[in-house]
Amino acid sequence: MAERISAADFDEKVLRSQIPVAADFYSDSCIPCKRLSPVISRLEEEFSGRVKFVKINVNFDSELAEQYDVMAAPTVVFFRDGNETGRTRGAVTQETLTGAIEELLF
């Protein structure tokens, strides 16, 4: 399961990560977020050790959502070497996320 992080550990866990990061900005009350969750779990297994997956609750860490222009949940923001490299919005398919992750890795 993706690690839940907050603004307090975002720099350490995301921006200073030695491997690329997929940050899932979500809300507990969001139906599309709940649909995306098992997809992210499968991708965590597939890309284990190559990509770190984290979850950020937009209700509790709204300043992070604002800082990264997350206007709707779910939004998955991809980071590499401390920089945003891409994002997906909405309950996208596993194939869409896989493609975005493969771009992140290469």
Per-residue tokens: 104? 């992140």
* 33 part of the active site: yes
Choose, from 5, 21, 23, 30, the residue flagged as catalytic: 30
**Secondary structure string (H, E, C) spanning 62-76:** HHHHHHCCCCCCCEE
Write out the H or E segment, with its range, that includes residue 14.
none
* 30 part of the active site: yes
d(C-alpha 21, C-alpha 101), whole Å = 9
Choose, from 33, 36, 43, 58, the residue flagged as catalytic: 33
Q: Which residues are catalytic?
A: 30, 33
